[in-house]
């Protein structure tokens, strides 16, 4: 019998991590003799939902188990185990789902919508009220949305892998000790990794900040190659172990499904025309006004200061340039127009752009000065006055090229496809049913041996 467990919203800004709970739970299920049918799946949902702690990630685990098992008891024991380990925080509203068998096509459409829209707890519960489903939650139950979306997203098209290495309990909250060189070299090696190092900012993108238990995460095209890559990373800290997840990270799965929406928090892909020249606002962010091609509605588009070189590209945009922007409308806009955070930019057409400048002196060719309101222009040097002269257009040479622009790797969303994957993503990808050793390694001299009694 196929059984899928899904869970989410177990962490808070103060610690914990849903993938780490998956790592611990997997050690329990391995002990029980459950047979994995898939790698653990780490699904990133709509990156703009206001309830997220970091990257809006949720986890699904799929197994083949005897149909004689008492699923209700297993659900009760595992959810109690999980909820005892979730953060005690107002932003933590965990959900846990156990699905026996399949739930039908509605489930995969729910998962696709979870990538781009803001879904409600009510619509989630109406799908969960089904004889094959056992579910429980704490707090508001918000976590059920990501849990169900993870179960429903079976990554049938493009996918990648991430190997996450976990810190031992005593080290969490302290500065991570990592060998920078190991990560800097990684993406240029033959391990098919991506987004390990952000050469624009010098930041190791594989290493998070903050109190969560992840020491580093390496992303790549193949689980086997990630395990090989991990063995060449110089370990400066002891780890509890590692787990390889199959994931939609780096696939653009959200943008593939997006509409030209101007609704707050929705993932959106909009064809638009530039209305005015970009401006720099407080904090160093670049802002400009765009007009949606479909209906002429206007919105502000923002490139954040941390997006560095991307911001410089946005600064080069001029009125009438045509674009497709990927991103989302902010919840609260700092201006009267809806404000769009740009995550990806396609320049489709670079329009000619001219500025009006003072006319040239007919004698020395230098720019003349105004001779007063409606009084024309004068050249002091040549002592020439021309009362009928007006400003003249001067065309700016446009160095901006048509094409796709992305922020530097360190400012990517988890879902953003980096340029390095563009060719790989076109190839059809498959995977074989994994063995435990294909994705899990736990060192019980550093990790707690967990146990749950459900038989």
Which C-beta is closer to ligand ATP: that of 42 or that of 274? 42
For ligand ATP, which residue of 28, 118, 184, 275 counts as binding (CB under 6 A)?
Answer: 118
156 CB-near residues (< 8 Å, 6+ apart): none
Q: How far apart are CA 269 and CA 257, in angstroms?
A: 9
How many chain residues bind ligand ATP (CB under 6 A)?
Answer: 25
Kindly state the DSSP code that residue 141 receives in the 8-state scheme: -
C-beta of 52 vs 203, nearer to ligand ATP: 52
- Asked if residue 151 binds ligand ATP (CB under 6 A), the reply is no
The answer for 170, left when phi > 0, alpha when psi is -120 to 50, beta otherwise, is alpha
Q: Work out whether 328 is an interface residue with ligand ATP (CB under 6 A).
A: no
Question: What is the full DSSP assignment across 345-382?
Answer: EEEEE----EEEEPPBPTTT-SBPEE-STTS-EEETTT
Q: Among 6, 143, 208, 213, which residue sits at the site for ligand ATP (rule: CB under 6 A)?
A: 143
> With respect to ligand ATP, which residue has the nearer C-beta, 93 or 268?
93
| HEC per residue, 215-228 | EEEEEECCHHHHHH
The total of other beta-carbon atoms located within 10 Å of residue 449's CB is 10
- Shortest gap between Cβ of 416 and ligand ATP (angstroms)? 15
Give CA–CA dist 404/169, Å, rounded.
Answer: 43
C-alpha 262/C-alpha 294 separation (Å) is 12
How far apart are the C-alpha atoms of 365 and 449, rounded to whole Å? 83
The overall longest dimension of the chain from CA atoms, in Å, is 102
Min separation Cβ 6 and ligand ATP, Å:
10
Minimal distance, residue 351 CB to ligand ATP, in Å: 36
Q: Which of residues 15-54 bind ligand ATP (CB under 6 A)?
A: 17-18, 45-46, 49, 51-54
Min separation Cβ 16 and ligand ATP, Å: 8
Task: Please identify, among the stretches 114-122, 171-179, 191-199, 425-433, the one whose residues bind ligand ATP according to the rule CB under 6 A.
Answer: 114-122
Site for ligand ATP in 399-428 (CB under 6 A): none
DSSP 83: H
Beta-sheet pairing, 239-247 with 41-44: parallel
Exposed e or buried b per residue across 413-434, where buried means at least 16 C-beta atoms within 10 angstroms of its C-beta? bbbbbbeebeeebeeeeeeeeb
CB of 183 to ligand ATP, least distance (A): 20
According to the binding rule CB under 6 A, does residue 145 interact with ligand ATP? yes
Closer CB to ligand ATP, 9 or 221, in the complex = 9
Q: How many CA atoms lie within 13 A of 204 on its CB side?
A: 19
Residue 142 binds to ligand ATP (criterion: CB under 6 A): yes
Site string (359-398) toward ligand ATP, x via CB under 6 A: ----------------------------------------
69 CB contacts (<8 Å, ≥6 apart)?
1, 455
Among 11, 38, 154, 321, binds ligand ATP (CB under 6 A): 11
Structure tokens at 408: 């530097």
**Closest distance of CB 95 from ligand ATP, Å:** 6
The nearer residue to ligand ATP, 20 or 421, going by C-beta atoms, is 20
| Interaction between residue 187 and ligand ATP (CB under 6 A) | no
| 55 vs 360 by CB, closer to ligand ATP | 55
Rounded distance, CA 59 to CA 141, Å? 16
Site string for ligand ATP, 244-263 (x = CB under 6 A): --------------------
The two three-digit tokens of residue 36, written as one number: 């994995």
Binding region for ligand ATP (CB under 6 A) out of 144-152, 218-226, 318-326, 333-341? 144-152
When asked if residue 192 is in the footprint of ligand ATP (CB under 6 A), the reply is no
Compare residues 30 and 89 and give the one whose CB is closer to ligand ATP: 89
Q: Which of 93, 171, 268, 328 binds ligand ATP (CB under 6 A)?
A: 93
Work out whether 56 is an interface residue with ligand ATP (CB under 6 A): yes
User: In whole angstroms, what is the distance from residue 321 CA to residue 396 CA?
Assistant: 13
Burial 90-116 (b: 16+ CB within 10 A, else e): eebbbbbbbbbeebeeebbebbbbbbb
Residue closest to ligand ATP (Cβ): 146
Binding site for ligand ATP (CB under 6 A): 8-9, 11, 17-18, 45-46, 49, 51-57, 93, 114, 117-119, 142-143, 145-146, 149
């Amino acid at each position: 019998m196929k059984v899928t467990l899904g869970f989410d919203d177990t962490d808070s800004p103060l610690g914990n991590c849903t993938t780490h709970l998956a790592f611990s739970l997997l050690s329990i299920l391995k002990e029980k003799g459950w047979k994995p049918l898939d790698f653990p799946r780490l699904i990133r949902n709509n990156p703009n939902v206001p309830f997220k702690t970091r990257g809006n990630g949720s986890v699904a685990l799929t197994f083949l188990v005897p149909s004689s098992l008492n699923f209700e008891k297993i659900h009760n024991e595992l959810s109690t185990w999980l909820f005892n380990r979730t953060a005690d925080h107002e932003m933590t509203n965990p959900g846990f789902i156990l699905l026996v068998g399949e739930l039908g096509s509605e489930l995969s459409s729910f998962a696709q919508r979870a990538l781009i829209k803001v879904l409600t707890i009510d619509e989630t519960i109406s799908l969960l009220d089904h004889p094959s489903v056992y579910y429980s939650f704490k707090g508001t139950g918000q976590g059920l949305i990501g849990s169900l979306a993870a179960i429903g997203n079976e990554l049938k098209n493009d996918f990648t892998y991430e190997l996450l290495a976990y810190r031992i309990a005593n080290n969490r909250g302290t500065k991570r000790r990592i060998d920078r060189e190991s990560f800097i070299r990684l993406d240029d090696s033959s391990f098919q990794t991506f987004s390990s190092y952000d050469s624009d900012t010098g930041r190791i993108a594989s290493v998070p900040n903050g109190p969560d238990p992840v020491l580093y995460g390496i992303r790549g095209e193949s689980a086997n190659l990630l395990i090989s890559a991990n063995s060449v990373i110089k370990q400066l800290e002891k780890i509890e172990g590692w787990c390889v997840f199959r994931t939609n990270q780096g696939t653009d799965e959200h943008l593939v499904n997006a509409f030209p929406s101007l609704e707050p928090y929705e993932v959106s892909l909009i064809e638009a025309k530039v209305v005015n020249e970009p401006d720099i606002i407080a904090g160093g962010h670049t802002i400009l006004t765009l007009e949606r091609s479909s209906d002429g509605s206007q919105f502000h588009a923002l490139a954040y200061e941390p997006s560095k070189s991307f911001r410089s590209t946005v600064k080069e945009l001029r009125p009438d340039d045509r674009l497709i922007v990927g991103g989302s409308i902010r919840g609260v806009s700092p201006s009267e127009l809806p404000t769009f955070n740009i995550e990806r930019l396609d320049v489709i057409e670079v329009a000619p752009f001219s500025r009006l400048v003072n006319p040239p002196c007919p004698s020395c060719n230098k720019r003349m000065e105004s001779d007063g309101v409606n009084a024309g222009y004068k050249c002091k040097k040549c002592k020439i006055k021309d009362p009928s002269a007006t400003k003249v257009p001067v065309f700016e040479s446009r160095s901006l090229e048509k094409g796709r622009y992305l922020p530097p790797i360190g400012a990517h969303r988890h879902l953003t496809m980096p340029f390095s994957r563009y060719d790989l993503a076109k190839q059809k990808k498959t995977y074989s049913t994994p063995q435990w050793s294909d994705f899990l390694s736990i060192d019980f001299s550093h990790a707690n041996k967990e146990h749950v009694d459900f038989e």
